[in-house]
Amino acid sequence: MRNTFKDQALETLFQKDGYVQVPFLNAEEVEMLKAYYFDTLEESGGTIGPEDEKYKSQQKITYDFTFIDKNSDYKVQVFNTITKSFEKHFEKYLDNYKPIIANFIRKKEDGGEVPLHQNWAFADEHKCATVSIWCPLVDSNRENGTLEVVPGSHKRYGEVRGPMIKSELFGIQQDIIDKFMIPLETKAGDCVILDDSIVHYSSPNQTDGLRLAIQLILIPKEENSIHYHMDLSKDRSLVEVLEVDHDFYMKFNPWKKPAGDVKRIDSFKYEPFDMTIEEFEAKLNQPRFDEVKTDKPGDLEEVEVQPSIDQSHPQTQSPQPTSDRSFWSRLRSKLSKA
Ligand SMILES: O=C(O)CCC(=O)C(=O)O
Protein backbone atom coordinates (compact mmCIF):
# COMPACT_ATOMS: atom_id res chain seq x y z
CA MET A 1 0.00 0.00 0.00
CA ARG A 2 1.48 3.33 -0.99
CA ASN A 3 1.68 6.24 1.45
CA THR A 4 -0.99 8.93 1.45
CA PHE A 5 0.95 11.52 3.45
CA LYS A 6 4.50 12.79 3.12
CA ASP A 7 4.83 13.07 6.88
CA GLN A 8 5.13 9.71 8.65
CA ALA A 9 3.36 10.83 11.84
CA LEU A 10 0.31 11.97 9.83
CA GLU A 11 0.43 8.76 7.79
CA THR A 12 0.35 6.63 10.95
CA LEU A 13 -2.57 8.60 12.41
CA PHE A 14 -4.46 8.47 9.11
CA GLN A 15 -4.00 4.70 8.78
CA LYS A 16 -5.26 4.21 12.34
CA ASP A 17 -8.26 6.59 12.42
CA GLY A 18 -9.11 7.13 8.74
CA TYR A 19 -8.74 10.93 9.02
CA VAL A 20 -6.47 13.71 10.25
CA GLN A 21 -7.17 17.37 11.08
CA VAL A 22 -4.56 19.89 9.92
CA PRO A 23 -4.20 23.66 9.29
CA PHE A 24 -4.87 24.44 5.63
CA LEU A 25 -6.02 27.82 4.22
CA ASN A 26 -5.11 31.22 5.66
CA ALA A 27 -7.76 33.80 6.61
CA GLU A 28 -7.35 35.73 3.36
CA GLU A 29 -7.85 32.59 1.26
CA VAL A 30 -10.95 31.71 3.27
CA GLU A 31 -12.46 35.14 2.59
CA MET A 32 -11.51 34.96 -1.11
CA LEU A 33 -13.21 31.57 -1.55
CA LYS A 34 -16.32 32.66 0.34
CA ALA A 35 -16.58 35.78 -1.85
CA TYR A 36 -16.00 33.67 -4.99
CA TYR A 37 -18.83 31.32 -3.98
CA PHE A 38 -21.38 34.11 -3.60
CA ASP A 39 -20.10 36.16 -6.57
CA THR A 40 -20.51 33.26 -8.99
CA LEU A 41 -23.64 31.71 -7.51
CA GLU A 42 -25.82 33.20 -10.23
CA GLU A 43 -23.94 31.09 -12.79
CA SER A 44 -25.12 27.94 -11.04
CA GLY A 45 -27.78 26.15 -13.08
CA GLY A 46 -29.66 24.90 -10.01
CA THR A 47 -29.52 21.36 -8.74
CA ILE A 48 -30.36 18.18 -10.58
CA GLY A 49 -32.61 15.71 -8.79
CA PRO A 50 -33.53 12.07 -9.43
CA GLU A 51 -36.65 13.18 -11.33
CA ASP A 52 -34.47 14.96 -13.94
CA GLU A 53 -33.02 11.58 -14.86
CA LYS A 54 -36.43 9.85 -14.69
CA TYR A 55 -35.86 8.11 -11.37
CA LYS A 56 -38.61 7.93 -8.78
CA SER A 57 -37.11 8.63 -5.39
CA GLN A 58 -38.24 9.72 -1.96
CA GLN A 59 -34.78 11.10 -1.44
CA LYS A 60 -34.66 14.84 -0.82
CA ILE A 61 -31.32 16.59 -1.05
CA THR A 62 -31.42 19.22 1.67
CA TYR A 63 -27.99 20.77 1.13
CA ASP A 64 -26.41 22.48 -1.89
CA PHE A 65 -23.38 20.90 -3.46
CA THR A 66 -21.69 21.66 -6.74
CA PHE A 67 -21.52 18.09 -8.00
CA ILE A 68 -25.22 18.07 -8.80
CA ASP A 69 -25.30 21.44 -10.51
CA LYS A 70 -27.07 21.50 -13.87
CA ASN A 71 -24.45 23.79 -15.40
CA SER A 72 -21.31 21.78 -16.12
CA ASP A 73 -19.38 24.94 -17.09
CA TYR A 74 -20.02 26.22 -13.57
CA LYS A 75 -18.75 22.90 -12.16
CA VAL A 76 -15.56 23.19 -14.23
CA GLN A 77 -15.02 26.77 -13.07
CA VAL A 78 -15.51 25.81 -9.42
CA PHE A 79 -13.17 22.85 -9.83
CA ASN A 80 -10.43 25.02 -11.35
CA THR A 81 -10.74 27.74 -8.72
CA ILE A 82 -10.72 25.37 -5.76
CA THR A 83 -7.84 23.32 -7.20
CA LYS A 84 -5.79 26.47 -7.76
CA SER A 85 -6.21 27.69 -4.18
CA PHE A 86 -5.78 24.26 -2.59
CA GLU A 87 -2.83 23.01 -4.64
CA LYS A 88 0.09 24.45 -2.73
CA HIS A 89 -1.45 23.33 0.56
CA PHE A 90 -2.33 19.75 -0.37
CA GLU A 91 1.06 19.27 -2.03
CA LYS A 92 2.64 20.01 1.33
CA TYR A 93 0.71 17.15 2.96
CA LEU A 94 -0.19 14.56 0.33
CA ASP A 95 2.22 12.26 -1.45
CA ASN A 96 1.62 12.88 -5.17
CA TYR A 97 -2.17 13.19 -5.39
CA LYS A 98 -4.41 14.75 -8.08
CA PRO A 99 -7.89 16.28 -7.63
CA ILE A 100 -10.90 14.79 -9.46
CA ILE A 101 -14.02 16.41 -7.95
CA ALA A 102 -14.60 19.73 -6.15
CA ASN A 103 -17.67 20.80 -4.20
CA PHE A 104 -18.92 23.76 -2.30
CA ILE A 105 -21.26 22.32 0.33
CA ARG A 106 -23.69 24.82 1.77
CA LYS A 107 -26.22 24.21 4.49
CA LYS A 108 -28.82 26.86 4.81
CA GLU A 109 -30.24 27.76 8.19
CA ASP A 110 -32.24 25.04 9.86
CA GLY A 111 -31.47 22.29 7.40
CA GLY A 112 -28.84 20.56 5.36
CA GLU A 113 -28.39 17.21 7.06
CA VAL A 114 -26.03 15.01 5.02
CA PRO A 115 -27.14 11.42 5.65
CA LEU A 116 -24.65 8.87 6.94
CA HIS A 117 -22.59 7.55 4.05
CA GLN A 118 -19.20 6.56 2.71
CA ASN A 119 -17.95 8.37 -0.36
CA TRP A 120 -17.90 6.34 -3.57
CA ALA A 121 -14.88 4.25 -4.47
CA PHE A 122 -12.69 6.27 -6.83
CA ALA A 123 -9.68 3.93 -7.30
CA ASP A 124 -8.34 0.53 -6.28
CA GLU A 125 -8.49 0.80 -2.47
CA HIS A 126 -6.25 -2.24 -2.03
CA LYS A 127 -3.39 -0.26 -3.49
CA CYS A 128 -4.07 3.20 -2.09
CA ALA A 129 -6.42 5.47 -0.22
CA THR A 130 -8.41 8.12 -2.04
CA VAL A 131 -9.12 11.16 0.11
CA SER A 132 -11.46 14.08 0.57
CA ILE A 133 -10.13 17.35 1.89
CA TRP A 134 -13.04 18.83 3.82
CA CYS A 135 -12.37 22.47 4.62
CA PRO A 136 -15.05 24.65 6.23
CA LEU A 137 -15.05 28.37 5.37
CA VAL A 138 -16.70 29.17 8.72
CA ASP A 139 -15.92 27.75 12.16
CA SER A 140 -17.82 24.46 12.24
CA ASN A 141 -19.26 22.65 15.21
CA ARG A 142 -22.15 20.37 16.15
CA GLU A 143 -24.63 23.27 16.18
CA ASN A 144 -24.03 24.33 12.59
CA GLY A 145 -23.58 20.78 11.28
CA THR A 146 -19.88 20.02 11.19
CA LEU A 147 -18.49 16.81 9.71
CA GLU A 148 -18.81 13.75 11.94
CA VAL A 149 -16.98 10.44 11.50
CA VAL A 150 -16.74 6.95 12.96
CA PRO A 151 -13.01 6.80 13.75
CA GLY A 152 -11.36 3.66 12.39
CA SER A 153 -14.30 2.73 10.13
CA HIS A 154 -12.34 3.22 6.88
CA LYS A 155 -11.87 0.18 4.62
CA ARG A 156 -14.10 -2.00 6.74
CA TYR A 157 -17.50 -1.55 5.08
CA GLY A 158 -18.89 -1.05 1.60
CA GLU A 159 -16.03 -2.25 -0.50
CA VAL A 160 -18.17 -1.76 -3.61
CA ARG A 161 -19.49 1.81 -3.49
CA GLY A 162 -21.27 3.77 -6.18
CA PRO A 163 -24.38 5.92 -6.53
CA MET A 164 -26.69 3.07 -7.55
CA ILE A 165 -25.36 0.44 -5.14
CA LYS A 166 -27.25 0.07 -1.88
CA SER A 167 -25.02 0.39 1.16
CA GLU A 168 -25.05 -2.43 3.73
CA LEU A 169 -25.31 0.32 6.38
CA PHE A 170 -28.55 1.73 5.00
CA GLY A 171 -30.84 0.14 7.62
CA ILE A 172 -28.65 1.00 10.64
CA GLN A 173 -27.80 4.62 9.89
CA GLN A 174 -29.47 6.08 12.97
CA ASP A 175 -27.96 3.46 15.30
CA ILE A 176 -24.48 4.25 14.00
CA ILE A 177 -25.06 7.99 14.41
CA ASP A 178 -26.31 7.50 17.97
CA LYS A 179 -23.57 5.10 19.09
CA PHE A 180 -20.41 5.76 17.13
CA MET A 181 -20.32 9.18 15.46
CA ILE A 182 -17.81 11.82 16.65
CA PRO A 183 -18.26 15.49 15.57
CA LEU A 184 -15.03 17.10 14.35
CA GLU A 185 -15.05 20.74 15.42
CA THR A 186 -13.00 22.51 12.78
CA LYS A 187 -11.94 26.16 12.52
CA ALA A 188 -12.49 28.04 9.26
CA GLY A 189 -9.51 27.29 7.01
CA ASP A 190 -8.39 24.17 8.90
CA CYS A 191 -9.34 20.90 7.27
CA VAL A 192 -10.10 17.25 7.78
CA ILE A 193 -8.39 14.93 5.31
CA LEU A 194 -10.48 11.77 5.31
CA ASP A 195 -10.25 8.38 3.67
CA ASP A 196 -13.22 8.29 1.27
CA SER A 197 -14.28 4.94 2.70
CA ILE A 198 -14.73 6.26 6.26
CA VAL A 199 -18.30 6.24 7.60
CA HIS A 200 -19.35 9.87 8.04
CA TYR A 201 -22.33 12.19 8.47
CA SER A 202 -23.28 15.77 9.23
CA SER A 203 -26.30 17.04 11.15
CA PRO A 204 -28.58 19.96 10.22
CA ASN A 205 -27.38 23.52 10.67
CA GLN A 206 -29.31 24.58 13.76
CA THR A 207 -27.99 28.14 13.77
CA ASP A 208 -29.10 31.07 11.65
CA GLY A 209 -25.57 31.51 10.32
CA LEU A 210 -23.87 30.27 7.19
CA ARG A 211 -22.40 26.73 7.08
CA LEU A 212 -20.25 26.67 3.95
CA ALA A 213 -17.48 24.13 3.33
CA ILE A 214 -15.37 22.83 0.46
CA GLN A 215 -14.71 19.22 -0.40
CA LEU A 216 -11.91 18.33 -2.81
CA ILE A 217 -11.59 14.65 -3.73
CA LEU A 218 -8.15 13.39 -4.75
CA ILE A 219 -6.60 10.15 -5.94
CA PRO A 220 -2.93 9.17 -6.39
CA LYS A 221 -1.46 10.66 -9.56
CA GLU A 222 -0.48 7.27 -10.97
CA GLU A 223 -3.97 5.73 -10.54
CA ASN A 224 -6.82 5.69 -13.04
CA SER A 225 -10.14 6.60 -11.54
CA ILE A 226 -12.79 3.89 -11.47
CA HIS A 227 -16.53 4.13 -11.00
CA TYR A 228 -18.84 1.29 -9.95
CA HIS A 229 -22.14 1.35 -11.79
CA MET A 230 -25.23 -0.79 -11.32
CA ASP A 231 -27.98 -0.43 -13.90
CA LEU A 232 -31.06 -0.90 -11.74
CA SER A 233 -33.32 -1.18 -14.76
CA LYS A 234 -31.36 -4.21 -16.00
CA ASP A 235 -29.75 -6.26 -13.27
CA ARG A 236 -29.69 -5.43 -9.57
CA SER A 237 -26.81 -7.76 -8.89
CA LEU A 238 -24.39 -6.80 -11.66
CA VAL A 239 -21.72 -4.20 -11.07
CA GLU A 240 -19.87 -2.70 -13.99
CA VAL A 241 -16.41 -1.26 -13.40
CA LEU A 242 -15.87 1.86 -15.48
CA GLU A 243 -12.57 3.58 -16.00
CA VAL A 244 -13.32 7.29 -15.97
CA ASP A 245 -11.56 10.61 -16.25
CA HIS A 246 -11.97 14.06 -14.81
CA ASP A 247 -14.36 15.04 -17.61
CA PHE A 248 -16.71 12.19 -16.66
CA TYR A 249 -17.30 13.72 -13.23
CA MET A 250 -17.86 17.20 -14.67
CA LYS A 251 -20.81 15.91 -16.71
CA PHE A 252 -22.02 13.32 -14.26
CA ASN A 253 -24.62 13.31 -11.51
CA PRO A 254 -25.57 10.46 -9.18
CA TRP A 255 -28.67 9.47 -11.15
CA LYS A 256 -27.29 9.73 -14.66
CA LYS A 257 -26.51 6.58 -16.59
CA PRO A 258 -22.89 6.75 -17.76
CA ALA A 259 -22.73 7.41 -21.52
CA GLY A 260 -22.06 4.57 -23.91
CA ASP A 261 -18.52 5.62 -24.72
CA VAL A 262 -17.24 5.28 -21.15
CA LYS A 263 -14.62 2.53 -20.94
CA ARG A 264 -15.97 -0.61 -19.24
CA ILE A 265 -13.05 -2.61 -17.83
CA ASP A 266 -14.76 -5.34 -15.82
CA SER A 267 -17.96 -6.54 -14.25
CA PHE A 268 -18.97 -8.89 -11.47
CA LYS A 269 -21.97 -10.20 -9.61
CA TYR A 270 -22.62 -8.47 -6.32
CA GLU A 271 -25.72 -8.90 -4.15
CA PRO A 272 -26.33 -5.87 -1.90
CA PHE A 273 -26.96 -6.97 1.69
CA ASP A 274 -27.89 -5.50 5.07
CA MET A 275 -25.72 -5.40 8.16
CA THR A 276 -26.95 -5.40 11.76
CA ILE A 277 -25.57 -2.94 14.30
CA GLU A 278 -23.92 -5.86 16.13
CA GLU A 279 -22.14 -6.87 12.92
CA PHE A 280 -21.10 -3.25 12.35
CA GLU A 281 -19.58 -3.07 15.83
CA ALA A 282 -17.80 -6.41 15.49
CA LYS A 283 -16.32 -5.39 12.13
CA LEU A 284 -14.88 -2.20 13.57
CA ASN A 285 -12.35 -4.37 15.41
CA GLN A 286 -11.60 -6.75 12.58
CA PRO A 287 -8.91 -6.35 9.90
CA ARG A 288 -9.58 -3.87 7.11
CA PHE A 289 -10.54 -5.21 3.69
CA ASP A 290 -7.16 -4.24 2.27
CA GLU A 291 -5.36 -6.17 5.01
CA VAL A 292 -7.13 -9.47 4.45
CA LYS A 293 -5.11 -11.87 2.33
CA THR A 294 -7.30 -13.44 -0.33
CA ASP A 295 -5.22 -15.58 -2.61
CA LYS A 296 -7.88 -18.17 -3.23
CA PRO A 297 -9.85 -17.65 -6.42
CA GLY A 298 -13.22 -16.13 -5.70
CA ASP A 299 -16.41 -17.89 -6.57
CA LEU A 300 -18.25 -14.82 -7.77
CA GLU A 301 -19.30 -15.26 -11.31
CA GLU A 302 -17.44 -13.22 -13.89
CA VAL A 303 -19.80 -11.68 -16.37
CA GLU A 304 -19.16 -10.41 -19.80
CA VAL A 305 -20.47 -6.91 -20.30
CA GLN A 306 -22.66 -6.48 -23.35
CA PRO A 307 -21.62 -3.04 -24.49
CA SER A 308 -24.74 -1.14 -25.48
CA ILE A 309 -22.43 1.20 -27.26
CA ASP A 310 -21.01 2.33 -30.51
CA GLN A 311 -18.09 -0.03 -31.14
CA SER A 312 -16.53 2.43 -33.52
CA HIS A 313 -15.75 4.88 -30.75
CA PRO A 314 -12.01 4.75 -29.97
CA GLN A 315 -12.59 4.75 -26.21
CA THR A 316 -14.97 1.84 -26.39
CA GLN A 317 -13.48 -1.47 -25.37
CA SER A 318 -14.92 -4.78 -24.43
CA PRO A 319 -13.90 -5.79 -20.94
CA GLN A 320 -10.38 -7.14 -20.73
CA PRO A 321 -9.93 -10.59 -19.28
CA THR A 322 -8.77 -10.19 -15.70
CA SER A 323 -5.21 -11.11 -16.44
CA ASP A 324 -3.54 -10.09 -13.21
CA ARG A 325 -4.95 -11.72 -10.12
CA SER A 326 -4.58 -8.50 -8.26
CA PHE A 327 -7.42 -6.23 -7.35
CA TRP A 328 -10.49 -7.59 -9.10
CA SER A 329 -9.76 -11.18 -8.21
CA ARG A 330 -9.06 -10.31 -4.61
CA LEU A 331 -12.25 -8.31 -4.51
CA ARG A 332 -14.38 -11.14 -5.87
CA SER A 333 -12.80 -13.64 -3.58
CA LYS A 334 -13.36 -11.33 -0.63
CA LEU A 335 -16.95 -10.57 -1.51
CA SER A 336 -17.79 -14.19 -1.99
CA LYS A 337 -16.89 -14.75 1.66
CA ALA A 338 -18.88 -11.79 3.01
O1 LIG B 1 -20.15 19.23 4.39
C2 LIG B 1 -20.75 18.34 4.98
O3 LIG B 1 -21.51 18.62 5.90
C4 LIG B 1 -20.59 16.89 4.64
C5 LIG B 1 -19.40 16.61 3.81
C6 LIG B 1 -19.32 15.21 3.30
O7 LIG B 1 -20.15 14.38 3.49
C8 LIG B 1 -18.14 14.84 2.53
O9 LIG B 1 -17.21 15.67 2.41
O10 LIG B 1 -18.10 13.71 2.01
The CATH number given to whatever domain includes residue 45 is 2.60.120.620
Where is the domain boundary, 223, 246, 273? Answer: 223
Q: How far is the CA of 134 from the centre of ligand 1 (A)?
A: 7
Q: Does 128 lie in the same domain as 50?
A: yes
Please compute the mean of the pLDDT values over residues 137-149 and round it to a whole number: 97
Where is the domain boundary, 223, 251, 268? Answer: 223
Q: Which of 114, 122, 131, 191 to mutate to test the pocket of ligand 1 (most atoms within 8 A of CB)?
A: 114
Q: Express each pLDDT in 267-289 by its tens digit.
A: 999 999 999 999 999 999 999 99
Q: How far is the CA of 267 from the centre of ligand 1 (A)?
A: 29
Q: Which of 132, 138, 185 to mutate to test the pocket of ligand 1 (most atoms within 8 A of CB)?
A: 132
Q: Does 161 lie in the same domain as 253?
A: no
Q: How far is the CA of 117 from the centre of ligand 1 (A)?
A: 9
pLDDT, residue 18, reads 98
- Per the structure, the count of domains in the chain is 2
Q: How far is the CA of 107 from the centre of ligand 1 (A)?
A: 10
Q: Does 319 lie in the same domain as 188?
A: no
Q: Is residue 1 part of a domain?
A: no
pLDDT, residue 253, reads 79
Q: Does 28 lie in the same domain as 163?
A: yes
Please compute the mean of the pLDDT values over residues 92-96 and round it to a whole number: 98
Domain that holds residue 130: 8-223
Q: Does 266 lie in the same domain as 198?
A: no
Q: How far is the CA of 195 from the centre of ligand 1 (A)?
A: 12
Q: Does 214 lie in the same domain as 69?
A: yes
The answer, yes or no, to whether residue 104 has pLDDT greater than 60, is yes
Q: Does 108 lie in the same domain as 14?
A: yes
Q: Is residue 233 part of a domain?
A: no
Check: CB of residue 216 under 8 Å from CB of residue 83: yes
pLDDT band for position 319 (50/70/90)? very low
Supply φ then ψ for residue 82, to 5 degrees.
-65, -45
pLDDT, residue 300, reads 41
Q: Is residue 228 part of a domain?
A: no
Q: Does 219 lie in the same domain as 115?
A: yes
Q: Does 13 lie in the same domain as 52?
A: yes
Side chain identity, residue 122: F
Which residues line ligand 1 at a C-beta cut-off of 6 Å?
105, 114, 119, 132, 134, 145, 147, 200, 202, 213, 215
Q: Does 247 lie in the same domain as 204?
A: no
Could you give the angle at which helices 277-284 and 173-180 cross, rounded to 10 degrees?
Answer: 50
pLDDT, residue 60, reads 67
Q: Poorest-confidence range of 88-92, 156-160, 309-313?
A: 309-313
Whole-number percent of the chain with pLDDT over 90: 71
Q: Express each pLDDT in 156-182 by its tens digit.
A: 999 999 999 999 999 999 999 999 999
Q: Does 202 lie in the same domain as 129?
A: yes
Q: Does 161 lie in the same domain as 65?
A: yes
Question: How far apart, in whole angstroms, are the C-alpha atoms of residue 211 and residue 148?
Answer: 14
Q: How far is the CA of 137 from the centre of ligand 1 (A)?
A: 13
Check: CB of residue 137 under 8 Å from CB of residue 6: no
pLDDT, residue 54, reads 61
Q: Express each pLDDT in 230-272 by its tens digit.
A: 988 888 999 999 999 888 999 887 777 888 889 999 999 999 9
Q: Is residue 272 part of a domain?
A: yes
Q: Which of 211, 215, 217 to mutate to test the pocket of ligand 1 (most atoms within 8 A of CB)?
A: 215
The answer, yes or no, to whether residue 62 has pLDDT greater than 80, is no
Where is the domain boundary, 177, 197, 223? Answer: 223
